[in-house]
Amino acid sequence: MFRVPVSLARAAIGAVAVTAVSASAQSLDIPKTAYSMEQCMGAVLAAYPATVLSVEMEIEGGVPYYEFEIRTLLDGHRWEAECNANTGKVEKVERDVKPDDPAFTAVARVTAAQALKAALAKVPGRPIEVEYEVSPDGRAWYEFTITQAGGRPMEVMVDAATGTVIGTEDERAEVEIYRIGGDDD
């Protein structure tokens, strides 16, 4: 038997109004998936014992994902865990940290200015935001949001240890289908 954490059940109650507003603005087309939200949640919680704070279904580059915001039981940190709804695999786990967080500073050998230079070399434009990210395996990276000519928003991830661009994401290729729960605390 799979048990849904109480925090998720409470969050689901608050999501009804959000879903109703979204549904009235347009039809809510939930894509077919090979794995359900519950199956993906089970995969996340098996790997990271935690309380689920929210869940979001989104489409990234045509692929459906469930993104869970969790608070781990062992250290109390908030993480985002992304599960591919077609494969049931947890593909990405990360958390935002402050620039002086020991999990980031222990790894970072590249300054934000150096990382930004690498990001702009890959994706020219106007930087509008920087986030500091870490993963459970100890990796750390900068995540820059850069607006390109014509207003196209791109995320560029730069490894904090090496200064290498490790990925880019077109923010326009992401579509949120629904969200249950939110940032209460």
pLDDT at 74 over 60: yes
Does one domain contain both 87 and 18?
Answer: yes
pLDDT at 8 over 90: no
- Structural domain including 158 reads 102-171
Within-domain flag for 55: yes
Q: Please report the pLDDT score of residue 101 as a whole number.
A: 98
> For residue 41, what is the domain's CATH number?
3.10.450.40
Mean pLDDT throughout 2-27?
42
Does one domain contain both 108 and 144?
Answer: yes
Summarize pLDDT for 107-147 with one digit per residue, the tens.
999 999 999 999 999 999 999 999 999 999 999 999 999 99
Confidence of residue 28 (pLDDT cuts 50, 70, 90): low
Does one domain contain both 36 and 69?
Answer: yes
Exposed / middle / buried, residue 57 (Cβ in 10 Å: 0-12, 13-18, 19+): buried
- Can you tell me whether residue 129 is helix, strand or coil? strand
Within-domain flag for 182: no
Percent helix / strand / coil, the chain, rounded to 5: 30, 40, 30
CB 116 within 8 A of CB 147: no
Exposed / middle / buried, residue 27 (Cβ in 10 Å: 0-12, 13-18, 19+): exposed
Q: Where is the domain boundary, 93, 118, 151?
A: 93
CB 170 within 8 A of CB 59: no
Does the predicted model carry a pTM greater than 0.75? Answer: yes
